[in-house]
Amino acid sequence: MIRRGDWVPLLPQGARLGVVTAVPVEPILRGLDYVLPGSEDSQQLSFIERAMPLDAWGALCLATGLIALVGLVGRWRRVASTGLWLGGSVYGALALGQWIAVAGQPWLDGIRGPAIVTLLAVAQLGMGAGYALQPDEADVAREVDHG
């Protein structure tokens, strides 16, 4: 049996800022890609992306990314969690469409696209859940007062 070490993989402050910020920035970039001219004619859109106007998908991505980013920068746990949960849900839908598109391809050709979107959905949902469960100072003070 392989013995595990006692290291806990936590990120140093400087690295954490970059990694945590990257998660809500990606939906902002995708949202911009969707709302800027030229995307509506793309042959690469999945049937889910074509299910509603690309501007609507862009607005959803922009809104969820901005809500999460504002929550993280402002250190508002509930705002960040809400943005991340909504973003993860939007990304889950987008990933589903991409998985369906590659399902008919030999050897799932093009798997990297839906895999990346799925991983970003999982990252957003996981961060949203983690932040929702993480107590803030007001929660801790309430527990101390009533505890």
At 40-72, the pLDDT tens digits run 666 778 889 889 999 999 999 999 999 999 999
**DSSP assigned state of 106:** G
The confidence score (pLDDT) of residue 139 equals 74
Which of 34 and 43 is assigned the larger pLDDT? 34
Domain ranges of the chain: 14-135
Spatial distance between the Cα atoms of 145 and 72, rounded to a whole number of angstroms: 27
The structure tokens 């809104």 sit at 63
pTM: 0.86
Looking at every residue in the chain, the average pLDDT score rounds to 90
Spatial distance between the Cα atoms of 23 and 32, rounded to a whole number of angstroms: 15
pLDDT 10s digits, 65-101 = 999 999 999 999 999 999 999 999 999 999 999 999 8
In this structure, what token pair is assigned to residue 57? 């998908």
Q: How confident is the model at residue 137 (pLDDT cuts 50, 70, 90)?
A: confident
Burial of 96 (C-beta count, 10 Å sphere; 0-12/13-18/19+) = middle
